[in-house]
Chain A
Amino acid sequence: ETGVTQSPTHLIKTRGQQVTLRCSSQSGHNTVSWYQQALGQGPQFIFQYYREEENGRGNFPPRFSGLQFPNYSSELNVNALELDDSALYLCASSFGTSGGYNEQFFGPGTRLTVL
């Protein structure tokens, strides 16, 4: 059973560019959540995808968008990058149901630097 993987590990972009981060969920998991962790802070919830649909979102602008594919892997897209988007982006997968708690397993993260 493979764990959650993310690519790339590190990424450097310039302000105004667009970026796509990828996450492969753990085998058997149908839910993916994305978090942004700025330096020295705790992870902040961006959004969650369940069975290919976004079913929850934190306080992030629309330029943060995502996709979930039939194999439950996921992408996080960020348009018009700003300096404050520099952070560690974490993906977490779980086996989701309609409610209740579902344990999340985190990937190693993608470190994004915006210059």
Chain B
Amino acid sequence: AQKVTQAQTEISVVEKEDVTLDCVYETRDTTYYLFWYKQPPSGELVFLIRRNSFDEQNEISGRYSWNFQKSTSSFNFTITASQVVDSAVYFCALSEVNSGGYQKVTFGTGTKLQVIP
């Protein structure tokens, strides 16, 4: 069974600080996909990044960066120079394709980030 663990329930940082959100996953599949989503108070899930299991290159997009380490089954997300607009709940998710051909996405419980001005 697949599982995603986000051990940090809530994090508060002061604006301009860097912050790292942790994500650890479990899966038996060799092919899978990992994601990060942002959920602002409005409720809609905003896609941030997708990474497949064969691509362990770290990625940087503006102030966002992701560190994928298969050896430790982790996919951590760092926000550099945080801003108040980054305040939201962030979800890490894992997608597998089952034998039935459908795609099942398992989400973590989320990390609530509060950036204090």
Binding site for B on A (CB under 8 A): 33, 35, 40-45, 48, 50, 55-56, 58, 88, 90, 92, 94, 96, 98-109, 111
Contact = CB atoms under 8 A, between A and B. Distances in A.
Contacts of A108: 42-44
B108 A55 contact: no
21 contacts: A33-B103, A33-B105, A41-B110, A42-B107, A42-B110, A43-B91, A45-B105, A48-B103, A50-B101, A56-B98, A56-B100, A56-B102, A56-B103, A99-B97, A99-B101, A101-B50, A101-B95, A102-B103, A105-B47, A106-B37, A111-B43
B1 to A, nearest CB: 10
Interface residues of B, number: 26
Given A41-B109, A42-B108, A101-B52, A106 B44 contact: yes
A25 to B, nearest CB: 15
Interface of B is mostly: strand
Interface in B66-95: 91, 93, 95
Contacts of B100: 55-56
A103 B47 contact: yes
Contacts of B103: 33, 48, 56, 94, 96, 101-102, 104
Contacts of A107: 44
A52 to B, nearest CB: 14
